[in-house]
Chain A
């Protein structure tokens, strides 16, 4: 067997080169993709590994965004504290909501996640004093990058970037770290037990798995990572708004996960890339993006039910076989 290419590191390296090689626009797009990739991958812990379809995952994204936003803007807390707080608070909410959700199965589970998400949205929308209500919370400050500029004084390679690009680098590092942790989780004994629940919850009980407790643990982890993604997104977006927690956000992230392929760890990230890029491309030609999106989805469900990642591994498998047949 040939050693596998270190794809993760290659992608990371490529991401670091985007601001130097591409335009501001591409850095913006890449930043968007990186954050959504984390959001979608956190959802995949539920959908792809534990077999739980959540229609309300945006709740935790929104909670994370508001947590970081409130701490940094209103209380002047440092990003170093405000960022992990997003994961922590979102995880706590996921613990409370999840406690009820995992008592239900299938469509009832999905509907209850949606119900909780809509409650979160409604609170964000109406609680003017804290969340800014409908107007949201604009002008979330960037983290303090003075240290980076001091570093750039002695390392010229780091010099000459704008604050938004500094934030992009920070995002890449933090999301990379989260991906590494998530990767470890799905490859752990815990991850294996989650797949048994996805495959057959009844049988999982009878190899001694406390199904509900594992589902809740997965729900909390997924919520926490969604919260981290939300925390980053609020800063990237220069503001936090109630629609972060709205059901359309939940469906967008679910579509990314399905489009990319929930069977593969990097599938949802691929889905985020393709969907956001297509969105940008098509939006410049037509305003009928939802129509195009619908057609893409229908085609996908019939042609590549395993998503883009599934299709890619299928094609790679066929090519490999053909190569072996010729050899």
Chain B
């Protein structure tokens, strides 16, 4: 589904990502882990076209998509959520999701239609799926952090992606919120047969749901395999997991 080959990126001499390769099979749940500053977010930005790589390729559904614009990548079926909450804060929850439908289905060019009731069914159904139906009318910027993360997930899902890239989906959440939202993500991924790739710092989350894990350290992949293989890897234990995985 997604194939990353030898991606490299430096910022002003600092090598953020130095030759990363991995493969995400269709229908799998994969994770990229690594300590802060390992290059996880940069890697995501390289894959999703926000940052152009210095070298390397990104192949998505057998198509070379290296460095193409995010809005085009979106149409090909790649959705992403962001680490820092990234929504449309002064629009209501309903308007947020509806805008995503309008854009994705190419209705943004109609100048004189009425937008209010466009894709109402779909929007409400999706809000129900991510657990925000009761907050549809609220201004999204005033939602709790957890709710905003749910909304972000909704924004990504409205694009009907085949692969979903989640950058630290539980960042800043309490333990209870984390469990809840991981269960939500897992359910949604299964129901919609999505391929998932996510970054995470919470070990419990990573080992509980992912089938494959790549460990990133100083911009390089130091281990790649099943959770058990990664857990046993001596290099990983040394740099990341510490003594008590």
Contact = CB atoms under 8 A, between A and B. Distances in A.
Interface of A: 184-185, 187-193, 195-196, 199-200, 202-211, 214
A206 B74 contact: yes
26 contacts: A184-B111, A187-B116, A188-B114, A189-B102, A189-B110, A190-B108, A190-B109, A192-B108, A192-B115, A195-B91, A199-B89, A200-B86, A203-B82, A203-B86, A203-B88, A206-B71, A206-B80, A207-B103, A207-B104, A207-B158, A208-B100, A208-B104, A208-B159, A209-B71, A209-B103, A210-B69
Given A195-B88, A206-B48, A189 B82 contact: no
Contacts of B79: 206
Given A196-B103, A199-B91, A206-B70, A190 B98 contact: no
Interface residues of B, number: 38
Contacts of A193: 99, 102-103, 108
B177 to A, nearest CB: 22
Interface in B86-121: 86-91, 95, 98-100, 102-104, 107-116, 118
Which are the 7 A-B pairs with shortest beta-carbon distances? Answer: A199-B88, A208-B74, A193-B108, A205-B70, A207-B100, A189-B102, A189-B107
Interface of B: 48, 50, 69-71, 74-75, 79-80, 82, 86-91, 95, 98-100, 102-104, 107-116, 118, 155-156, 158-159
Nearest to B96: A196
B48 to A, nearest CB: 7
Instruction: State the main secondary structure of chain A at its contact with B.
Output: helix
A205 B69 contact: yes
A208 B75 contact: yes
B130 to A, nearest CB: 15
A203 B155 CA distance: 9
Contact of B115 (A188, A205, A214): A188
Nearest to A263: B90
Contacts of A206: 48, 70-71, 74, 79-80, 156
A53 to B, nearest CB: 16
B99 to A, nearest CB: 5
B114 to A, nearest CB: 6
A205 B71 contact: yes
